[in-house]
Amino acid sequence: MSQPLVARLLARHADARVDALAGPSTAAIYRHMPGIGRVHSVGFARGRLELARRIRLARELAARHYQAAYVLPNTWKSALIPFLARIPRRVGYVGEQRYGLLNDCRRLDAAALPRLVDRYAALADPVGASTPAANPILLAKPALESELHPLRRSELGVNPAPIVFCPGAEFGPAKRWPSTHFARLAAALATHDDPVILLGSAGERAIGMAIADAAPGLCRNLCGETTLDEALAIIAGARLVVTNDSGLMHVAAAYRVPLVAIFGSSSPRYTPPLSAQAQVLSLGLACGPCFQRVCPLGHTDCLNRLLPDQVLEAVQALRAERPL
């Protein structure tokens, strides 16, 4: 989601170098992002300050003499490291009382910038400037990883150009289409010789197991079994991706893979897949989007009532546009 910001910064400052500070789960993506130089990968425990580690990292960044930092998360912790590194210009939205930590502190006009990608890109522009819509996100195809080594491909059980399901969503269950629905869709799309590949993190392995168990022989559960680089390579080569609103959804969009994106508690107006090859499905119920991790009404109708046949229709619409 930050790639259009990177592109806009480089368009404004042709001689600049843009580096990224990212957690381990996204550092691999930044390594494939056009315009990114060095990637600093560091992870902090959720909910913990770990001040000594932040100070050490700030010293490392200070030694590189960065002139500006663009702080995308809205937390005060994310603004602390650029402040400690004494980076002269620190840009971001107000967020969690970050006055002082940021010295170019923007107020967000959510109505003018409903999409997260545009909010990020606007940080490259002067305050008050009329910000055009961000261009679609693009990722460079993995170099050595673009074709999995044949031995590793065989070990993972990945056929060329597979159908891929991404059934997880780190945010919470209110963004996850039911595993039974994924299984029914697998039964309509897969064969024993051409199984659906299930991709996700180690924390989503149980979700993958539930889908694979409900569709015997039709799914290969690789949740937690691949590196992120391998997951990127599999998605880049897929002929179809069906996914919840998640990070891997944006990866598929950035690789221009035909995809069906399923939205539950979140909104396709806020974080849509920026790709002409994407079909977006959302029931648009009166109770949503609630942006909650767990359905506050206890029924998760926004996902349960979105049936496999409706997703299959979206797949068929993509097939009508181009063979999958």
pLDDT digits (tens, 9 = 90+) for 229-260: 899 989 999 999 999 999 999 999 999 999 99
pLDDT for the residue 146: 47
3-state class (DSSP) for residue 96: coil
Mean pLDDT across the chain, nearest whole number? 92
pLDDT for the residue 98: 87
Structural domain span for residue 312? 149-321
Residues in Cβ contact with 22 at an 8 Å cutoff, skipping those fewer than 6 apart: 29, 30, 39, 40, 41, 42
pLDDT for the residue 264: 97
Question: Whose CA is closest to 59, among 85, 26, 39, 80?
Answer: 85
- Residue 169 sits in the same domain as residue 118: no
pLDDT for the residue 135: 78
Alpha-carbon distances, residue 267 vs 175, 289, 313, 318 (angstroms): 10, 6, 21, 21
pLDDT interval class at 97 (50, 70, 90): confident
Answer whether residue 262 is part of any domain.
Answer: yes
Question: Whose CA is closest to 23, among 5, 4, 50?
Answer: 50
Q: What letter does residue 53 receive in the DSSP assignment?
A: H
- Residue 230 sits in the same domain as residue 178: yes
pLDDT of residue 143 exceeding 80: no
- Residue 111 sits in the same domain as residue 153: no
Q: Domain holding 71: CATH number?
A: 3.40.50.2000
* Single-letter code of the amino acid located at 32: H
- Number of domains the chain contains: 2
For range 36-51, the mean pLDDT: 90
pLDDT interval class at 147 (50, 70, 90): low
Q: Which residues pair with 301 in a beta bridge?
A: none
- Residue 169 sits in the same domain as residue 304: yes
Q: What is the pLDDT of residues 64-75, one digit of tens each?
A: 999 999 999 999
Tokens of 280: 């977006």
Answer whether residue 134 is part of any domain.
Answer: no
Question: Whose CA is closest to 2, among 95, 82, 98, 73?
Answer: 73
pLDDT of residue 155 exceeding 90: no
Answer whether residue 129 is part of any domain.
Answer: no
- Residue 241 sits in the same domain as residue 97: no
